[in-house]
Structure 1
Amino acid sequence: MTVENTDQAVPSPRTVRRSPAELCAAIRDDVILGVFAPGQRLTEDGLAERFGVSRMPVREALRMLAVEGFVRIAPYYGTFVAELSPDEAADLLEIRAVLEPLAAARAAHRRTEAHLEQLREVVREGRQAVFHGTLDRLPALNTRFHTILAEASGNTSLNSIVEQLRYKIAWVYAVELPRRAADSWTEHQLIVDALEQGDAELARAVMAEHIRQADAAYRVRNVP
C-alpha cells in the first residue's frame, strides 16, 4: 500500500544550506533504512520540511536518486520510492559473490596499515552498535567496511565497480543485516584477520563464506 505522508520528522526550525548531493545521500539513507517504504510517494514540500531546506536542492536530489534507481519519477503523478525486483536483487547478489572475494584476495597483498586500522575501527563500531542495539547504524557501517576493503585491493577498476553498486547492495541487505548482526560482524573480524596475515586464499575464502551466509539469510527472508 502506498503511503502518502513524508513529513515524518520534526521540521527544522530554519532553512539550512545543504547541497543536492548531501540531500541525495540523506534521502537514500532513509530509503535503505526503510524510513520511506517501497511505493511511497515523496513530495518536494514534504522532503524540504523534513530536512529543513528549500525545494530546489530537493528537486535536484530526487533527479539524482532517479538515475541511481532509488526513486522513480512518474510525470504528472509524482515521485515514488522504487522497489528492487527479485531479478535485480539476484543479479546484485551474483555480482557481489564474484567481486568481493576477488577484492579481499587482492587486498591481502596490497592493503596498507592505514587500511587495516580503518577496517579495525569500523569493526569496533559495528560490534558496539550490535551490543548497544543501535542497529540502524549497521547498513552504513557495513557499506563503509566493504568500501575500504575494495580500496585496499589496489584495483582502480574493481573499486569503481564496487563503488557503483555499494548503495544498491546496502539496500538489498538493509533488512537482513540486523537479523544476523552479531554473526555478520564476527565474519568481518575474520576478514580483517586474514588481511593482517596477508593470506590471499584465506581472505578469499572467508569473504566468500560471509557473502554466502548473507545471501542465504536474504533468500530465506524472501521465501513466500
Structure 2
Amino acid sequence: MAGDIYDRIRALIASGAYLGGDVLPESELAARLGVSRTPIREAMRRLQAEGVIRREAYRRAVVVDVDPNEVIHIFTARASLEPIAVGMAARHSDDAFLKELRELHEAMDEAIHESEPDRRLYRDLNARFHRVIWAQGGNAFFAELVNLVARKPVVSPTFNSWTRAELMRSNRQHGDLVEALSAADAEWAEAAMRAHLLSSRATYRRISADTPEAAPRKQDWMFPDPGTAEIKPEPVSVR
C-alpha cells in the first residue's frame, strides 16, 4: 500500500500538480488518493529521505525546488558514475540487451521526428535506455547507487525545453553508445557515456541561462520511477 501511495504522490509532483515550494497537506493527499493518513505519512518519509520533499515549521511537508547548481552537480556526478556502469555492461553484453537498446534508440528517434517532438516520451525512453545499461553490469548495488543519483527531482527546464537539434544530438550519442556496446569495447563505451553526459550538462546550462527567474517552473524528472513513466516496461516495438 505505502509503495503504491509513494508512486502516486511522486507522479503528482512530476506532473506539475505540486510545484517546488508547494505544501503537501497530508489530509488533502489522503482525500485525493482515497486512503488514510497512515500510508501517506509512510510515503512522505520516503520522499523526504530521497530529497523530494522537506519538513518545515509545524512539520509541514514542502516540495523541494532544486537549485540549478544542484542539477549541474547531479550531471557531474553521473558523468563519473555512469561510465563505470556502461563499462561493466560492455563486459556483460548479450544479444537481448543489445536488441533492447537498439529498439529504444530507434523509438527515441521516432519521438524526436514527430511534427512536434514528443519530449515526455523521449524522456521516458531515455530513462529506460540508461536503466537497461545500469542493470546489465551485473552489480545491483552499483546500479541502485547510480539510480539514486540520477532520479533526483529536476525542476524544468529539462527535456521540455530542449530543441529538436539538441534532442537529435543526444540521441546520436545514444547511437554511439549502442555501437560501442555492440563492439563490447568497454573503453569506448565509457568515453561515449562521459561525453554524452557532459554534453547534456552543457545543454542544461544553456537552457538555465535562457530561462528568466520569474518564469513559471514545472516539476520534471530526468529519471521518473518506472511505475510513473508513461511507457510500459516491455521492449519497444519498432515500426
Q: In the alignment, does 2:129 pair up with 1:145?
A: yes
> Residues 181-215 of structure 1, C-alpha deviation per residue, up to 9 Å, x if partnerless?
33322322221122112122221222122111100
Identity %: 32
Match of 2:193 among 203, 207, 213: 207
Aligned residues: 204
Give the direction of change, closer, same or farther, for the CA distance of 1:198–1:181 in structure 2 (3 Å limit).
same
Question: Of Structure 1 and Structure 2, which has the larger fraction of its residues in helix?
Answer: 1
Residue 108 of structure 1, CA deviation: 1.6
TM-score by length of 2: 0.73
Residue 219 of structure 1, CA deviation: 1.5
Q: In the alignment, does 2:147 pair up with 1:163?
A: yes
TM-score by length of 1: 0.77
Q: Runs (4+) of structure 1 moved beyond 6 Å?
A: none
1:207 is aligned with what amino acid? Answer: M
Instruction: Indicate the SS of the match to 2:62.
Output: strand
Instruction: Indicate the SS of the match to 1:41.
Output: coil
Instruction: Indicate the SS of the match to 1:76.
Output: helix
Which structure 2 segments of 5+ residues have no match? 213-239
Alpha-carbon RMSD across the aligned residues, in angstroms, is: 2.6
Distance 1:138 1:158 in 2: 25
Distance 1:173 1:155 in 2: 30
Larger relative contact order (Cα-Cα within 8 Å, sequence gap ≥ 6): 2
For the 8 Å contact 1:39–1:83, the answer to whether it is kept is yes
> Residues 28-79 of structure 1, C-alpha deviation per residue, up to 9 Å, x if partnerless?
2443454421101122243334444444322221121011100112242621
Give the direction of change, closer, same or farther, for the CA distance of 1:107–1:27 in structure 2 (3 Å limit).
same
Equivalent position of 2:87 in the other structure: 105
Which structure 1 segments of 5+ residues have no match? 1-18
